[in-house]
Amino acid sequence: MKVVIAQMKHETNTFSPVPTPLARFAGDAALPLQGADAYQAYKGTGTAIGAFIELAEEAGAQIVLPVAASAWPSGPVEDAAFEHIVKRIVDAVADGCDAVLLDLHGAMVTRTYEDGEGELLRRLRAIAPEVPIGVALDMHTNLFPAMVDHATVLAGYQTYPHIDMFETGLRAGRAVFAMLAGRARPVMAWGNRPMLPHVMRQGSDDSPNRELQARCKEMELQGALCASVFVGFPNADVSQAGLSALVVTDGDETRARRWCDELLDMAWAARAGFAYEPEPLAASLARAQALRATLADDAGPVVLLDHSDNCASGGTMDTMTVLGAILDAGLQDVAAFAICDPGAVQRMMHAGIGAEIQLALGGKLDMPALDLGGQPRGVKGRVRLLCDGHYRNRGPMARGEHNHMGPTAVLDTGKAEIVVVSRQVEPHDLAAFQAVGIDPASKRFLMLKSRVHWRAGLRALAGAVVECAGTGVCTSDYAALRFTRLRRPMYPLDPL
């Protein structure tokens, strides 16, 4: 038995000015990982592709791994990047195989296609009409009809932060191997509702997503092969952005339809719980200081979430609104992770450890989709640390996966330690802090450019959490986003 396993992951923020060429999928190499290198990078990791490798080896299958391409969220994917990745997968399948297992995101927008995954699957189905195709998807999938039409089994993460990537790979993969063994005949039903759940309200520990995901798990215990609610990715101006559901059963189309509709009705009834009203920044910082005063010294930091500039939602990671307000307010004993400013890192490297330096930090990228120019901020401090920015995730999210912040520096202002990176990386893992010699648990305040994923590795150490509305292309204010392709009406943008 021969199985083609591949990864093509990108969550596209169509409002983001951060470019997405092939190099963004390639890390330090010239091209994305392939073959033995991809196998080595993902074998044994807590990822969907890691699960596919494990299942295929259990089945004694020959594995062909044409490409493992994953990039941090950013603007639309360049056509050349998309075509490179897709060609590698299509060529591998064209050589013949018994099954295809794909680790996809489900919200890839390219310069040409608003549904990158659907286009990949369409091309695969055209050359392999009978081959089972199993796909693991992110919970932030914006599900398009073509993805369902041209795949055999789709399964989405059931946690946010995404700590079940591996389990999702197992769910999708097992259904495909059961089919190959003649033990299952997967059928799918899917649908959506005109609602755009806010990312700040999508955490799977919070209602209403907690109840939706619990019902998915219950359906799987009751016989569904895979049950998924995709909360969708709202910072994408595409026709199918928003919430959807998909249920796979063993040959029972009626049951799949009924369960899918039940999930969609549950979500629609709970739609008000997915809406989010940002608090003015000054009020948030005043609240943070008041909270700090009530906490014991060893209670852990007050976490300040700069949620408008989360790079895992396509943020530039260089807006200075929240950090600037923190510096202006004179908060003491702060760690900030992170500002992406490769030029500032180079200046600090040139100055050397211990040097006092004045920087125009951040604000290098304009955000034309929001009619905003980049605004650097003058910051003075001492270069405390320089490093290469490599680390490996400890988990629980994407355990074992390699991360690379690029050349990295820590600037110490006396009151704040500011991590400055050269590549966007969301702080969801303690290893990111260990790489820069900061113990976040010992800080009074911890500013994170994150929305929900930080909870995966850092929630246990937080004394309190305050959401801070800054500036950025993952703004939490839907009114700042100009939607032109999104289907309407859409809750909560329109009265429904």
Query: What is the contact surface with Zn ion in residues (CB under 5 A)?
Result: 138, 140
The residue (of 76 and 314) whose beta carbon lies closer to Zn ion is 314
Tokens of 258: 């009924």
Supply the DSSP symbol for 128.
Answer: -
Q: Which is nearer to Zn ion, 140 or 201 (CB)?
A: 140
**In the bound complex, which residue of the shown chain has the CB atom lying closest to Zn ion?**
140
Distance between CA atoms of residues 16 and 8, nearest Å: 19
Q: Report, in Å, the least distance between residue 139 CB and Zn ion.
A: 5
Taking the complex as a whole, the smallest distance from the CB of residue 391 to Zn ion amounts, in Å, to 20
Closest approach, Cβ 154 to Zn ion, in A, equals 15
* Residue type, position 117, single letter: E
> Are the CB atoms for 10 and 108 separated by under 8 Å?
yes
Burial of 269 (0-12, 13-18, 19+ CB in 10 A): exposed
Judged by beta carbon, residue 140 or residue 198, the one nearer Zn ion is 140
Specify the residue, 138 or 306, whose C-beta has the smaller distance to Zn ion: 138
Name the helix (H) or strand (E) containing 351: helix 342-351
**Least distance to Zn ion, CB of residue 141, Å:** 8
Burial class (CB in 10 A: 0-12, 13-18, 19+), 274: buried
Percent of residues in the chain assigned helix, strand, coil, to nearest 5: 35, 25, 45
Query: Who contacts 323 (Cβ-Cβ below 8 Å, separation ≥6)?
Result: 306, 336, 339, 362, 377, 416, 418, 447
Query: Closest CB to Zn ion among 142 and 316?
Result: 142
Q: Which C-beta is closer to Zn ion: that of 300 or that of 314? A: 314
H or E element: which one contains 57? helix 48-58
CB atoms within 10 A of CB 277: 9
Q: State in angstroms the smallest separation of the CB of 481 from Zn ion.
A: 18
* Least Å from the CB of residue 162 to Zn ion: 6
Q: Which is nearer to Zn ion, 24 or 140 (CB)?
A: 140
Least distance (Å) from Zn ion to the CB of residue 493? 21
Kind plus residue range of the DSSP H or E element containing 98: none
Whether the CA torsion 246, 249, 251, 254 is positive or negative: it is: negative
